[in-house]
Amino acid sequence: MNKPKLVYFDIDGARGEAARLAFVIGGVPFEDDRVKFADWQGRKSNTPFGALPVLELDGQTVAQSNGINRYVGKLAGLYPSDAWQAALCDEAMDAVEEIATSVWSTMSLPPAEKKAQRERLAAGPLPDFLDRLQRRLLAHGSQYFADGRLTVADLKVFVWIRHLRSGQLDHIPVDLAERVAPRLVEHYDRVKEHPAIKAYYAERKVAI
């Protein structure tokens, strides 16, 4: 197989990050094509849906982050082969995608509207979601979301919890996850300690 190319923005998080981590953990060689925001408009029309991430292989392209996570998860040995466990893995990834999108969609709102929207999310939908996600983790053995081992679902949750706690999201309390879903924070710490993840972020000089 030729080397796949993952195309995503030059940030260490958001929708492209779980696939990057899966490549790294699985030791699967890939090209990490990091698009500068200044270059995006020139490349947007060459993507299937005008958005990133996309994955390129042998001159073909596929879009949609969770589909990419599944594909890379299969290459990396981080996606369940059992159909039910795969459905649980998908559930966690799609659930995170849904709630993360509700937060990301506030990014370019005018300041007052962004504040109002984020305060509304922080007062209800976010804690409710964190509680529900935590309960799914507990229901599946407390350690991982599916298959009793690390899968791309854990990477997707890890990336999102990191963003939520990063302090980059104005009007969303940084300690929300600690207060509402401490077992998700334990899960975050567990994933963070994976030797390949530690080494990857150390090399990129990114604090986790």
Ligand X SMILES: N[C@@H](CCC(=O)N[C@@H](CS)C(=O)NCC(=O)O)C(=O)O
Determine the Cα–Cα distance for residues 72 and 89; give it in Å rounded to an integer. Answer: 13
Cβ–Cβ under 8 Å, residues 104 and 96: no
- Does residue 208 touch ligand X according to CB under 6 A? no
CB of 186 to ligand X, least distance (A): 27
* For ligand X, the closer CB: 11 or 199: 11
**Contacting residues for 96 by C-beta, under 8 A, at least 6 apart:** 133, 156, 157, 160
Q: How many residues bind ligand X (CB under 6 A)?
A: 9
* For ligand X, the closer CB: 65 or 151: 65
Both tokens of 13, joined, read 């998080």
Strands (E), the chain: 5-9, 31-35, 54-57, 60-63
CB of 195 to ligand X, least distance (A): 28
**Contacting residues for 83 by C-beta, under 8 A, at least 6 apart:** none
* For ligand X, the closer CB: 62 or 122: 62
CB of 8 to ligand X, least distance (A): 8
Cβ–Cβ under 8 Å, residues 69 and 155: yes
Out of 6, 15, 78, 154, the residue judged to bind ligand X by CB under 6 A: 15
* For ligand X, the closer CB: 50 or 148: 50
Residues between 52 and 71 with contacts to ligand X, criterion CB under 6 A: 52-53, 64-65
Cβ–Cβ under 8 Å, residues 146 and 153: yes
CB of 63 to ligand X, least distance (A): 6
- Does residue 51 touch ligand X according to CB under 6 A? yes
Instruction: Name the residue among 160, 55, 63 with its Cα closest to residue 103.
Output: 160
* For ligand X, the closer CB: 51 or 138: 51
Binding site for ligand X (CB under 6 A): 14-15, 44, 50-53, 64-65
